[in-house]
Structure 1
C-alpha cells in the first residue's frame, strides 16, 4: 500500500491567457508531463491528468481507496498544491456542475456507513484556516489564534478547535458553507476570488462493532482522521498585481509554501543527508506533520497551468511534485 501518491492535474487554458496571445506549452500522458518540443526528460508521477479528465475520474482512480482505508481506521490526507489560479480550489471544492474531491469523499464515507451491517459509525467535522500564520476556527469565528499541541496519544492537534457531530453529506455541506463564509478571500489580477488562507477540513471517523455497542463495551473502537486540505496558491506579485494587504497575504502564503517545499525536500533525502526536518517552520507543516512524516496515507494533487506565460511557475510545481514522488520511491 502506497503511503504517498503524487498526481498532477493540468487545467485548460483560460480566457485571460488566450486573449493575451498565450498558448499551451505542455504535453500530458497517463503518468508524465513534458514541455512540448523540448528534449528535456518528462516529469513522471503516479498519474497525470489532462484538462479532459474530470475530478470524478481523479477521485475514482486515486482517492477512493484512500477514503476506504480511512473508514477502516487509517489516517489519511488529501491536499492540492500549485500556483494561484491553477485549479486547486476547483479540484478540491468543485462547483455547481462538477463536484470536487471534498464532496465526493464525504458522499463516499456516508455511502459506506449506510451499507455497513456490522459496524456503527460516528462522524465529527472541524474546519480551520491558516491566515497570515494564525490558526482560526471557521465553524466558530470568534475562536481565533488557536495553538498547536502535541500529545502522546492524540499526536499533533489544534487545541480548542470546534468539532461538530455530522449525520449526512448535506449536514457536512452546510458546515462547509458556514465555514466558507468566515474564510479570507480577496481579488487579484489572476483570480477574482483568490484564497488568502490555507484550509483544512478535518473529518474524524469512529467505528465500533454493533454487538459491542449493544453490550455497552468500550473495546474495539477504531478512530481515524481524514484531512482535506485546500492550500492557498503560490504567487508572484508581478502577476497578481498584489500590493498593500494583498501583498502581505501573498508573502505569508509564499513563506508557508516554501516551508512545505523545504520539508518535502528534506524528507526526500536519504539518511544523514536529511538533517533536521523543519516541521515547526510553518503552521501548515506542523499540522500536516503526521501526514508527511508518519504512517498515514497521503494523496498530493499538484495543479498546474498550461500557458506559455507561466512556464517557470509550472516547472516549480512539477519539481515540488517530483520531490514528493521521490519520498514514495525511496519508501518502496
Structure 2
C-alpha cells in the first residue's frame, strides 16, 4: 500500500468488491465513498505519479482508474496499463489530456464529468471578466500596501462592462451559461462555433459565421471551446490584432487556446486592455511575466473549485465507474 494511499474498509459479509486506483486527491466525501465501495488505493497525502500508478494498477489488479485533467492518459501510458483495467474516469469535462485513439484501440472506456461543473466554471469566467475590466487585482494590491491616497478623476479607471458586447468562442454548456450571466449585465452577446445552435439554446446570443467577424465586434472575448489541434493558439498575434483596441480577454477553458507570447505583447502595448486567466500552457508552470503585468487577473485553474462542484465531479466519476464495472454502459463516455 502506497504512503499516499488510504486502505478501504473491509467488505461487509466477505463480499468481493471491485478494485480502484485514484491517482488524484479527492474531496473528503468522495474519498469516503470510494473507500467504502472499492478495494484499492486512493491518493491522500499527495497525488500518485505515472510509474507508481501503473505499479499499483498491476499490484492491486485494479479494474478502474480515477484521474483528472492534470494527469496525461497518453498512448504510452495506455499501452502500459495492465489488461484488467476496464474504465478510466477523468474528473473533468475536457479530455484533451486523453489519447482517444489509443484508448479506443485498446478497448478502454473513458468517461468525463459534463454538466456538474458548468455553473461554477461560468461563475469563475465572469468573475475574471469583471476583475480584469475593473482592475480589481490592482485595487486589492493597492489596499494591501496601504497606498490609497489622493487621486484625480482620471486615475485608476477600468472598463465598463454593462451594455458592452461579449463575444463567446465555443457555445457549449459553459459558453451558454456565461451568455445567461451576461444578459444580467445588459450585454450584447455574440458567439462563434462550428455551427449555429437551435434558437432555443442560444440564450439570447447571436451567431457570427466567422472568427474574424466575432473578434472585430467583441469588447470582451471569453473562450469556451475545447482544445484540439484546430483550436490550439486560436488566439495568436494575427487574431488578437482583430480585436478592438482596449478589448478584454478571458480564458477559463484551456491554456493552449492562447499563444501566450502574443497575448503578453498585446497586453504590454495596450491593444488588449486586460485579461482574466484561469488556465495556462504547461500548468502548473506558467509564464512568470504575467505576474508583472498589472492588467491581468490570475487564477490557478479553479473554475470548478467549489465544495459542491468538486464533490459532484468526484461522485459522477464514481457513478461512471460503478456503471461500467456492473456491466452497464457508461453514463458519460467521451465518445459514443
The two structures have a TM-score, normalised by structure 1, of 0.29
The one of the two structures with greater contact order (alpha-carbon pairs below 8 A, sep at least 6) is 1
Greater strand fraction, Structure 1 or Structure 2: 1
The two structures have a TM-score, normalised by structure 2, of 0.28
- State the structure with more CA Rg: 2
